[in-house]
Copies of this chain bind each other. A is one copy, B any other.
């Protein structure tokens, strides 16, 4: 299947030519060769110039400078001369992409490019988690099937894998997990000789672009593969089995990064089965992989998914903190806990998980989701960088100086991960604009100071070339897309008003009487979850002043009001509107804005490639209609609950 080049299109830039550029590289090696290839491809594409290797000094020089951080780079360009240095070859590669990005943003002749940029990555781990199943399907995949697996085989499509690795490296992503965290069936066998040859190819192809391969593993592998009677992490036989397994795996895959583990979560096996702690489980694996520099990433998505909806005391939001905070400091050096950005599960709006700020002696990765499971499934546009920006800027007040999430994920063993949004669709991400989330997540993980506006602009320019109408319209749409999506879906942070299982489309009571612990408690007297001290007191998992801020409806940020409080429909927001009228207004507005997106996209027809326009037109048309469905279902639901019509007399279906 053919596919687009996304933001690596290197479309020719009008008005700036030079026939020949020389390129000198001080050292050799696979990664540096990839850097040279990319630079050549980029400059040739952009300028139409031929790029030739020079022996000594050239117009451009690439060099490793051990004075820089390993994945840091320094690029200086002026008057047609450019020097790119990196702390390692990977740093050089990142510098190359930085230059190519700057060239496109400046859009001027080569001699006029001016750049003075030195960057070090904001965090060490910048990962993607693919939830690809070995049958070829993708859990929460909205862009076709897997390009890693099909019918229990590992595919080695060197061209596509290479292009994917180039995309990842271009934005600073340095690790991927290729298989679903729910490890079942054939995927359990990934750490056996059945798949080593293909995986070795993956480590080679990815490694050339500084991307480490990780694998999700099944905690019960000693039973399923080894025939042991248990997977008890405190059983010496189990540890021995994992030690032998690690020796075997790293002998075959010396470049492997490590394992990702979803344990005791939504039915997956884990240490709780044996009365052990999550630390017992993670440390046992960490001990096994330690001799090989292996790394264990352990997910914190542990909660009771068999809750009784009648039970209003139990609060799923509290679960992660309660399970992991008591273990702070007990994890081995090569363990990192992976914590979802919010305490629930990737809703369009959640508070930041308090666990992120409270762990002080434990490595952490904050997990985001660019697979748009709850944010329109890549049929609605929802550019997530404004949301991630807010998360990174949130100060959890657990450090004397800077307790922002961005600060907390600095340093060794820490980082950011995202559930990936790619598949084998022609455009990689289903919705063409969803690629902005892949690009943006990578950029933000490498440089947590970037603004969503900047990222969107970079991505648009590199994807569509110099195309002012497209750039302007789509930039506005991208920047409005998350607030608009939030408007026409679940209100004021309450979340979860979606169809169960597939999670697409409105269903207000969809999870209300379920076992999943995600309720909105909409009743005759109001809606929202009381997480203040009169309720589950989840708010006191936060440090002060956040705890008090969230504990009072008066001070709670309004976008999270119903996440923390159960309030009457006639409660007045700061706007002076009642909650009910706010729901009506935002839903009318959101649907109107979605319609305006569609109209704006229609105007881009003359400026877009035919196939790209056709894809965009279809998705925006669907979004426009589906936003009306959201609006009407939500509004009717609350009208039926309250009997109070819209204050402005708009149509709410009875």
Residues of A at under 8 Å CB distance from B? 309-310, 312, 506-509, 513, 521-525, 632-633, 636-637, 639-643, 653-654
Given contacts A524-B641, A641-B641, contact A312 B654 (CB under 8 A): yes
Chain B residues in 8 Å Cβ range of A525 = 643
Chain B residues in 8 Å Cβ range of A309 = 653
State the Cβ distance, A513 to closest chain B Cβ, in Å.
Answer: 5
In the bound complex, what is the Cα–Cα distance between A524 and B569 (angstroms)?
14
Contacting pair B632 A523 (CB below 8 A): no
Besides A312-B654, A507-B509, 9 new A-B residue pairs in contact (Cβ under 8 A), listed by A number: A309-B653, A506-B513, A513-B633, A513-B636, A521-B654, A523-B643, A524-B641, A524-B643, A525-B643
Contacting pair A653 B310 (CB below 8 A): yes
Contacting pair B654 A523 (CB below 8 A): yes
A interface: dominant SS: loop
Chain B residues in 8 Å Cβ range of A310 = 632, 636, 653
Chain B residues in 8 Å Cβ range of A632 = 310
Chain B residue nearest in CB terms to A638? B524
Closest 7 CB pairs of A and B: A524-B643, A523-B640, A310-B653, A513-B633, A509-B509, A524-B640, A310-B632
27 pairs, A vs B, C-beta closer than 8 Å: A309-B653, A310-B632, A310-B636, A310-B653, A312-B654, A506-B513, A507-B509, A507-B513, A508-B509, A509-B509, A509-B637, A513-B633, A513-B636, A521-B654, A522-B640, A523-B639, A523-B640, A523-B643, A523-B654, A524-B639, A524-B640, A524-B641, A524-B642, A524-B643, A525-B643, A640-B641, A641-B641
Chain B residues in 8 Å Cβ range of A524 = 639-643
Chain B residue nearest in CB terms to A652? B310
Chain B residue nearest in CB terms to A310? B653
In the bound complex, what is the Cα–Cα distance between A513 and B498 (angstroms)?
12
In the bound complex, what is the Cα–Cα distance between A506 and B507 (angstroms)?
15
In the bound complex, what is the Cα–Cα distance between A508 and B509 (angstroms)?
9
Chain B residue nearest in CB terms to A653? B310
In the bound complex, what is the Cα–Cα distance between A308 and B639 (angstroms)?
18
Chain B residue nearest in CB terms to A527? B640
Chain B residues in 8 Å Cβ range of A641 = 524, 640-641
Chain B residues in 8 Å Cβ range of A521 = 654
Chain B residues in 8 Å Cβ range of A636 = 310, 513
In the bound complex, what is the Cα–Cα distance between A309 and B525 (angstroms)?
26
Between A309, A523, A639, the greatest number of chain B beta carbons within 10 A of the residue's beta carbon is seen for: A523
In the bound complex, what is the Cα–Cα distance between A395 and B448 (angstroms)?
76
State the Cβ distance, A245 to closest chain B Cβ, in Å.
Answer: 37
State the Cβ distance, A460 to closest chain B Cβ, in Å.
Answer: 37
Chain B residues in 8 Å Cβ range of A508 = 509
Chain B residue nearest in CB terms to A513? B633
Chain B residue nearest in CB terms to A524? B643
In the bound complex, what is the Cα–Cα distance between A636 and B309 (angstroms)?
11
In the bound complex, what is the Cα–Cα distance between A637 and B310 (angstroms)?
12
State the Cβ distance, A313 to closest chain B Cβ, in Å.
Answer: 12
In the bound complex, what is the Cα–Cα distance between A112 and B473 (angstroms)?
95
In the bound complex, what is the Cα–Cα distance between A507 and B522 (angstroms)?
15
In the bound complex, what is the Cα–Cα distance between A654 and B513 (angstroms)?
11
Chain B residue nearest in CB terms to A312? B654
State the Cβ distance, A565 to closest chain B Cβ, in Å.
Answer: 15
Chain B residues in 8 Å Cβ range of A654 = 312, 521, 523
Chain B residues in 8 Å Cβ range of A637 = 509
In the bound complex, what is the Cα–Cα distance between A636 and B654 (angstroms)?
21
Chain B residues in 8 Å Cβ range of A507 = 509, 513
Chain B residue nearest in CB terms to A643? B524
Chain B residues in 8 Å Cβ range of A642 = 524
Chain B residue nearest in CB terms to A525? B643
Chain B residues in 8 Å Cβ range of A506 = 513
In the bound complex, what is the Cα–Cα distance between A524 and B654 (angstroms)?
10
State the Cβ distance, A39 to closest chain B Cβ, in Å.
Answer: 54
In the bound complex, what is the Cα–Cα distance between A580 and B532 (angstroms)?
33
State the Cβ distance, A502 to closest chain B Cβ, in Å.
Answer: 11
In the bound complex, what is the Cα–Cα distance between A118 and B523 (angstroms)?
62
In the bound complex, what is the Cα–Cα distance between A309 and B509 (angstroms)?
16
Chain B residue nearest in CB terms to A523? B640
Chain B residue nearest in CB terms to A642? B524
Chain B residue nearest in CB terms to A508? B509
In the bound complex, what is the Cα–Cα distance between A312 and B636 (angstroms)?
13
State the Cβ distance, A517 to closest chain B Cβ, in Å.
Answer: 15
Chain B residues in 8 Å Cβ range of A653 = 309-310
In the bound complex, what is the Cα–Cα distance between A98 and B633 (angstroms)?
57
In the bound complex, what is the Cα–Cα distance between A642 and B524 (angstroms)?
6
Chain B residues in 8 Å Cβ range of A643 = 523-525
Between A310, A508, A639, A643, the greatest number of chain B beta carbons within 10 A of the residue's beta carbon is seen for: A310
